[in-house]
Amino acid sequence: MHELVTVLDYGSQYAQLIARRVRECGVYCEILPHDITCENLAERSPKAIILSGGPASVLKKGHPDIDPGILDMGIPVLGICYGMQLVAKVLGGSLERGRSGEYGPATIDIDIDGALFSGIGGGIDVWMSHGDQVITVPEGFSVIAHTRVCPIAAMGDLKRNIFGVQFHPEVVHTPLGKEIIKNYLFTVAHCSGDWNMAGFIEESIRAIRERVGRSRVICGLSGGVDSAVAAALINSAIGDQMTAIFVDNGLLRAGEVEEIRRIFTEQYPLNLDIVDARQIFLSNLKGITEPEEKRKRIGNTFIDIFYTEADRIGGADFLAQGTLYPDIIESRSAKGGPSATIKSHHNVGGLPKDLKFDLVEPLKELFKDEVRVLGRELGLPEILINRQPFPGPGLGVRILGEVNEHNVAILQEADLRVQEEIRKYDGYDDIWQSFAVLLPVKSVGVMGDERTYANVIAIRAVSSLDGMTADWVKIPYEVLAKISTRIINEVAGVNRVVYDISSKPPSTIEWE
């Protein structure tokens, strides 16, 4: 069994980033709900505990709390932002609503070296995002860092190994944040760092077998890397007890069905079922233009097909999906924590409330780059692992306005040209996603001597580390020109191509 560090989730958008940073340090980490009892936590024997940040205020009634016994277990605790404020409140410190709050970059001055700040130096740049602040530390605690406007930016009880930091060491905007986390893990909590991806596979296989027992699982394969890796992992755990279902929903990229068939029958054989559902999807999308409604209908149609296929194979209790952390972060927090719902979308938002399957989502705490490492470790072919992410609702969220056979055909042809040209470009490896979008407008053009009134295609290419934030790629004009010329000349029904120059946030990567 590996050493374990637990993050208690108070609803921070960053809870998973904390877990990710810990895993990057070679220590296994899991996220648990903040209301876990001291006894239940003790059963897991964590080497260290981290309390995440969160949107609530400890100064307001009914705020998410902690079983106070957890702070008496003799296990090191690090509270981050809200987590620090909670520790201060529970142990008898005092807090106030910050007069101005502190959001964005700040510099902290370290007052007491050692422990969290071993080898870090005097003043460091950090990322702050808080309204409340601690004004007196609990008994036994010392102030270990401050900023110009926040007199207690970090505190610690060096005897009991309980710490709090007001800033976010888990984000990249705190450049030495990982060093602080390392100090917490190795200097304070004496972890040894015994975890790696092979360990994750081992833990996941055990957990999948335990959860599934002798039941059957169907796994939705979307053609993207995530669901492929999920299928491979579940296949390693339970073999033919799983049926991978690839639904041809008519919203796939050109050539997709043949490629998936080849990979999963020849290169990485598994129990595969390809379902031709093109007509069902198109008829369920007829006349629908509202993006959320489209997503819901596509999601529901998938579920109907999964029910039918489950019956066909004699019943299944579980539905497996390749949901990743960024897919769910904007819909709800990973462990059902109290984070704000920003947007109902993705695999998660599209599921009906009365789903008749239990879910198996073995990747839901991972980020895309971690999934790629996992896929390689499982022996999946490189061609699949290096694929760009592709959304579950497919081209349906890239056709603005009504989805119909005609529009799908135009977009597939345009998208094929984007893929072909961008693949030739030197910077291809730095692109997270590149694709075409069919806009619901027509514009006037002139082809030969004829006036045209035809469709507009937008090209989107973004760079990103994890899909959470993204920037548009400065693709050379020559490449854009080639794409534009090819689409306009070769794809009937298109007379204009535009390039999307918006970053995420405030835009999203997909247009719907």
State how far the Cα of 432 lies from the Cα of 475, in Å rounded to an integer. 13
CB of 326 to ligand XMP, least distance (A): 6
Measured from the CB atom, the residue of 2 and 368 that comes closer to ligand XMP is 368
Which residues 305-324 are close enough to bind ligand XMP by CB under 6 A? Answer: none
Question: Which residue, 144 or 244, is less far from ligand XMP as judged by CB?
Answer: 244
Q: At what angle do helices 405-424 and 477-490 cross, to 10 degrees?
A: 150
Q: How far is the CB of 368 from ligand XMP (least distance, A)?
A: 8
Would residue 139 show up in a list of annotated catalytic residues for this protein?
A: no
Q: State which residue, 199 or 401, has the beta carbon closest to ligand XMP.
A: 401
Contact 14, 185 (CB under 8 A): no
To the query of whether residue 191 is one of the catalytic residues in this protein, the response is: no
Catalytic residue among 2, 34, 130, 168: 168
Rounded Cα distance, 168 and 16, in Å: 13
In this structure, what DSSP letter does residue 86 have? H
Query: Which one from 170, 365, 370, 510 is the annotated catalytic residue?
Result: 170
Per the structure block, which two tokens stand in for 474?
A: 């400065």
d(CA 386, CA 450): 43
Burial class (CB in 10 A: 0-12, 13-18, 19+), 75: buried
Q: Out of 25, 29, 81, 150, which one is annotated catalytic?
A: 81
CB of 191 to ligand XMP, least distance (A): 32
Closest to ligand XMP by CB, 49 or 437: 437
Site string for ligand XMP, 487-506 (x = CB under 6 A): -----------------x--
For ligand XMP, the closer CB: 327 or 361: 327
Judged by CB under 6 A, the chain residues 422 through 451 that form the site for ligand XMP are 433
Report in angstroms how near the CB of residue 205 gets to ligand XMP at its nearest. 23
Question: Is 174 or 222 the residue whose CB approaches ligand XMP more closely?
Answer: 222
Place of tokens 């279902």: 245
Strands 450-463, 471-472: pairing is antiparallel
CB of 289 to ligand XMP, least distance (A): 18
Q: Which of 327, 413, 415, 421 binds ligand XMP (CB under 6 A)?
A: 327
Nearer to ligand XMP, 345 or 496 (CB): 345
Q: DSSP character for 220?
A: E
Which CA distances in Å does 361 have to 154, 306, 319, 325? 36, 16, 9, 10
> Which string of x and - marks every residue 328-367 that binds ligand XMP (by CB under 6 A)?
-----------------xxx--------------------
Which listed residue (36, 182, 467, 491) binds ligand XMP by CB under 6 A?
A: 467
How far apart are CB 150 and ligand XMP at their closest, in Å? 32
Decide: 188 and 161 in contact? Cβ < 8 Å: yes
* 136 versus 469: smaller Cβ distance to ligand XMP: 469
Q: Confirm whether 25 is a catalytic residue.
A: no
Encoding tokens for residue 15? 């809870």
DSSP state of 141: -
Report the alpha-carbon distance of residue 511 to residue 145 in Å, rounded: 43
DSSP SS3 for 123: strand
Q: Are 384 and 457 contacting, i.e. CB atoms less than 8 angstroms apart? A: no
Q: Which of left, alpha, beta for 387 (phi over 0: left; psi -120 to 50: alpha)?
A: beta
Exposed (0-12), middle (13-18) or buried (19+): which is 324, by Cβ within 10 Å?
Answer: buried
Shortest reach from residue 391's CB to ligand XMP, in Å: 3
Between 113 and 471, CB nearer to ligand XMP:
471
The enclosing H or E element of 97 equals: strand 94-110
5 and 58 in contact (C-beta within 8 Å)? no
CA–CA separation, 113 and 183 (whole Å): 12
Does residue 226 come out as left (phi exceeding 0), alpha (psi in the -120 to 50 range) or beta?
alpha
Task: Concatenate the DSSP letters of all residues of 20-68 into one string.
Answer: HHHHHTT-EEEEEETT--HHHHHHT--SEEEE---S--TTSTT-----G
Query: Rounded CA gap, 162 and 410, in Å?
Result: 60
> How near is the Cβ of 291 to ligand XMP at its closest, in Å?
11
Q: Which residues does 84 contact at the CB level (< 8 Å), separation at least 6?
A: 51, 134, 154, 155, 163, 164, 165, 166
Given the complex with ligand XMP, which of 16 and 133 has the nearer CB atom?
16
Binders of ligand XMP among 387-406, rule CB under 6 A? 389, 391-393
Q: Residue 401 CB, nearest distance to ligand XMP (Å)?
A: 18
# residues near ligand XMP by CB under 6 A: 15
| Minimum separation from the CB atom of position 393 to ligand XMP (A) | 5
Residue reference for tokens 């695999």: 347
Chain residues binding ligand XMP by CB under 6 A are: 326-327, 345-347, 389, 391-393, 433, 467, 504, 508-510
What positions carry a catalytic annotation? Answer: 81, 168, 170
